[in-house]
Amino acid sequence: MRLPGGNTRYVYGRLSLRSETIITKLPMPASYDLIIVGAGALGAFHAYFALRRGQRVLLLERDGRPRQATVRNFGQLVASGMAEGEWFEYGRAAQATYRAIQAEYDISVRATGSLYVASSAAELQVLAEKQARYAALDYPSQLLNPEECRRRLPALRADYCAGGLLFAQELTVEPDQLIHRLLAYCQARWGLAYRPATPALGVEATADGCVVAGAGGARYRAGRVLVCGGHDVRTLFPEVLAQSDLQLVKLQMLATAPLPQVRLPGAVLTGLSIRRYPAFRACPSFAELRAEDVDPALRQWGIHLLFKQAVDGSIIIGDTHEYADLGAADALDFNNSTELNQLVLGEARRILDLPDWRMQRTWNGFYTQSKSAEIFQHAPHPRVRILTGIGGKGMTTAAGFAERHVAELLG
């Protein structure tokens, strides 16, 4: 099947695209059912589910390609790290969505599993309690002894590992590929109208509909508008952000040179992750994990060790956490601290034995989060909704949240 704006064909029922991004060349409709501002995971999955419901959707992205939090992360889809309840269920629903899209078109989803590695008997007890809780939720997991952990991860140091908890059904993606392929799929398969390099400069809403103003005098009309990006919210509704409790979070991550001789399947999470992730706080033994067992410098900078091997064989390592209220966001610069990188690598060396610890790159990422809610939601007008501040769980949960939110929005 050939669709306008790109070379598209079906091969044995699986959608195949020759390019990652299709710019629709047909004239734009006079109006849409829904305009979404921001093409990160939150905006893109809202577009996907609205399109599936037959909506005409226009997606505006201020940059030439999405390049913020959605592409600057590990690509670990760990529903197991979410607190039991609503957001865990969003994570579980998101896995089904990722699998369904991957069955049609390669968006880089891999069913490689997630392994939490305990560094002490106390952390292992928490994992055992969590396994029992997840069994009651019909979310399978398997406790592994140290030898089984090291068979799965030969690079794992024996003096670190006290055991682990494996979620074999969990997924990973390539963050530098996922969103671009997802957008291409939505255009080719579902008719998404996508406009990159198109900043939204204003939103007007009346009882009859909405108009989004763009650069050069462009005006885009729709019945509803969703604003799904921190920077765009700051431009469009500065007064809303000024009264919010949103804060900016800065991360530092590193990646080794390709290490094809190392096998590191799936997401690897560690004792510091067990102590940090909300999923484990409901376990009775969580309160017995002592803060004094953690290096104060690691606590100060919110460091918890994650590892993931990319498809090129490099290993992504991180991360750190620095915080600032949005009103003081300039306090977080774009520099990477050598001191923080060394703290991360010092802890990483306690966990893995790698043949080469030279880093080929290091970068930072930024995301917004609410201090009081799992996501920031605000409706300045009945036809306009702001959604931002999903925190560091966007890749894991945005698809599940968007599915439910679109259903609610469209009734």
Model pLDDT for residues 47-56, shown as the tens digit of each residue: 999 999 999 9
Domains observed in the chain = 8-69+176-244+373-410 (3.50.50.60), 114-168+246-370 (3.30.9.10)
pLDDT at 233 > cutoff 90: no
- Distance of CA 166 to CAs 90, 118, 127, 382, Å? 20, 11, 10, 44
| 10 residue type, one letter | Y
Residue-level pLDDT at 232: 72
Task: Quick: pLDDT tens for 129-139.
Answer: 999 999 999 99
φ and ψ at residue 358, rounded to 5 degrees: -70, 135
- pLDDT over 70, % of the chain: 92
The whole-number pLDDT of residue 344 equals: 97
Per-residue pLDDT at 28: 58
Specify the pLDDT at position 15.
52
User: Residues 328-342: pLDDT tens digits?
Assistant: 888 888 888 999 999
Q: What percent of the chain has a predicted confidence (pLDDT) above 90?
A: 82
Is the peptide bond prior to 295 cis by the omega test (within 30 degrees of 0)? no
Arithmetic mean of pLDDT over the chain? 91
Q: What is the mean pLDDT of residues 301-329?
A: 93
Structure confidence at residue 398 (pLDDT):
97
Is residue 19 pLDDT above 50, yes or no? no
Residue 292: the pLDDT is 86
Q: For residue 161, is pLDDT > 70? A: yes
Q: Tell me, what's the pLDDT at 242? A: 85
Give the per-residue pLDDT at 411.
Answer: 83
Please choose, from the candidates 411, 366, 370, 371, the residue with its C-alpha nearest in 3D space to the C-alpha of residue 387: 370
Count the neighbouring beta carbons within 10 Å of the beta carbon of residue 261.
Answer: 10
Res 7: pLDDT: 32
- The residue with tokens 């201020």 is 62
- pTM for the model stands at 0.92
Q: For residue 29, name the pLDDT band (cuts at 50, 70, 90).
A: low
- Please indicate whether residue 3 or residue 92 has the higher confidence score (pLDDT): 92
Whether residue 22 is predicted with pLDDT greater than 60 in this model: the reply is no
- Residue 182 pLDDT greater than 50, yes or no: yes
**Kind of pairing, strands 322-325 and 246-256?**
antiparallel
Per the DSSP assignment, residues forming a β-bridge with 226 are 36, 385
Residues in the chain: 411
pLDDT score of 334: 83
Residue-level pLDDT at 5: 33
Residue whose tokens read 């290993």: 315
Torsion region of 354: left, alpha or beta (phi above 0 gives left; psi -120 to 50 gives alpha): beta
Each residue's pLDDT tens digit, 238-247: 899 889 999 9
pLDDT at 11: 29
C-alpha closest to that of 275 among 302, 309, 252: 302
DSSP 192-226: -EEESS--EEEEEE-SS-EEEEEGGG-EEEEEEEE
Average pLDDT of the residues in 159-168: 98
The stretch 345-354 carries a mean pLDDT of 97
Report the pLDDT averaged over residues 218-226.
Answer: 97
pLDDT for the residue 122: 97
